Amino acid sequence: MKKIGICLTRGWRSVIGRNLFVFVGILLTASIVYFYIDAPLKFKVAKIVESGDQEEYYSPRDNSISRVSFNDSKNDVIVFVHIQKTAGTTFERFLVRYQDNLPCKCMAHKKRCNCARSQSNETWLFSRYSTGWVCGLHADYTELVVNNCVQNVLDRQTGFKKNRNYYYTTFLRNPTDRFVSEFRHVQRGATWISSRHVCNGKPASLNDLPSCFDPRIGWEGVSLEEFISCPYNLAFNRQTRMLADLTLVNCYEHVRKPTHEQDRILLASAKENLRKMAFFGLKEYMDDSQWLFENTFQMQFSRKMSVWGKSKSNDTVLNESQIAFIKNVNKLDWELFEYALQLFKDRISQMKRLIIN
């Protein structure tokens, strides 16, 4: 019995020793993850949110605008972030067809044009009508910039890595009008189902991003009530999401389980990225947007964008409750748009002073 007791004691000590070793290993691993991965990420998020917590987030001193000495013979590239139903198609078409400073070679009945530099075959324009949807259909800021897709695509085209100057541009729109325009577009048959929504290096799965409709059938003919009832509808706050760094909120987790904290992070990130863009326009101010772009990049369009940027959804009739609901589910976009409007007006004023001086 004594021998059995000794063996049992030694056995328990061995088990305790192994468990203690495992516990210490787990503790050390957790510490490494926190200090080298989790803590820096939280610090990065905190820095963005901290500025977003201010009652007056927009400040003219945070924004400076200058006239770009854009040079197509060197390393300058204009990149357009195309948010659906914001007049982006009009702007992109004007870039390739209606400006003569850096003419693109366009063929009849072909959407894409060759916008190669004057001294090489490298493109000076990264957009739908030049490079095509090479980073995915309506690729957002996360796909284009955070995932480094623009740089990788252009490096593959040249065959080697190269430092370039990227001038990011986009267009925004009144969120309610944009949302209704997207609804009408989907009602006519559009779904953008081939969008990949790449984040953290991988496309979103159906578990990450549930669908509002059967992909085999589509959503053509959808009613407004059905369209606004889907909690996973990417039309909600689309402008904010497409301009934010989604890796800060664990990619598309906020679509399935939205929180106030995630909303604050997304909005602050979208504002910061918008402020850093070389140019952005507003659909409601097409003439002013064209003037600002022409003077920022010193390129001239041969036609007026305001004549071409007409909406097909102005005849949509909404009652007061529908308008209130749409505004509420797009509250982040509304805050972003109000910030953008102030920023846009300030850039117009700054550019006028630059021209006078």
From the candidates 82, 109, 138, 185, which is the catalytic residue? 138
Cβ-based neighbours of 75, under 8 Å, separated by 6 or more = 162, 163, 164, 165
Q: 70-94: string of b/e by CB count within 10 Å (b at 16+)?
A: bebeeebbbbbbbbbbbbbbbbbbb
CB 76 within 8 A of CB 109: no
Yes or no: say if 177 and 161 are a contact pair by the CB < 8 Å rule. no
Please, which residues have CB within 8 angstroms of residue 215's CB and are 6 or more apart in sequence?
191, 193
| Cα–Cα dist 100/89, whole Å | 19
Concerning whether 197 is annotated as a catalytic residue, the answer is no
Residue 166, strand partner residues? 77
Q: How far is CA 339 from its chain centroid?
A: 16
Q: State which H helix or E strand residue 337 sits in.
A: helix 331-356
The residues annotated as belonging to the active site are 138
